[in-house]
Amino acid sequence: MKSKSDEILNFFERICAIPHTSGNEGELRKFLIDFFEEQGGFRSEVDGYGNLKVSRRNSSPDSKKIILQAHLDMVPQALDKDFDFYKQGIKTEIQGNKLKSVSGTTLGADNGIGVAAGVIALLDEELKNYDLTLIFTVEEEIGLNGAVNLSQEFLANADYLLNLDSEDWGELFVGCAGGVRTDSTIPIKRKKNENKFDYKITLSNLKGGHSGCDIHLPRANAIIEVLKFAKLCDLEIADIQGGTLDNAIPRECVIVGSSNYDINYFEQISAQFKSDFLKKFSEDYEMDLSIAPSEVRNELVWENSAQIIENLISVPNGVLKKSDELGVVVSSSNFAIINSDGDVLNVNSSQRSLYNSERDALQSKIAEHLKLISGVSVARSAYPAWEMKENSILSSQAQELYRQMFKQEATIKVIHAGLECGIFNGKNPQLEMLSFGPTIKSPHSPSEYLEIDSLKYFYDYLRQLIKKIA
Q: Which of 73, 358, 448, 451 is catalytic?
A: 73
The contacts of residue 87 (CB under 8 Å, 6+ apart) are 19
| CA distance readout (Å), 190 to 109, 234, 377 | 45, 16, 22
Which segments of 43-108 does DSSP mark as H helices, in order?
none
Catalytic (active site) residue 73: yes
449 burial level (CB within 10 Å; 0-12, 13-18, 19+): buried
Q: Which of 131, 139, 140, 141 is catalytic?
A: 140
Q: Is the peptide bond before 111 cis (omega within 30 degrees of 0)?
A: yes
369 φ/ψ angles, rounded to the nearest 5 degrees: -60, -45
445 φ/ψ angles, rounded to the nearest 5 degrees: -145, 160
d(CA 247, CA 212): 8
Q: Is the peptide bond before 24 cis (omega within 30 degrees of 0)?
A: no
Type of residue found at 399: Q
Alpha-carbon torsion (263, 268, 269, 275), positive or negative: positive
Catalytic (active site) residue 286: no
CA 261 to chain centre: 40
Residues known to be catalytic: 73, 140
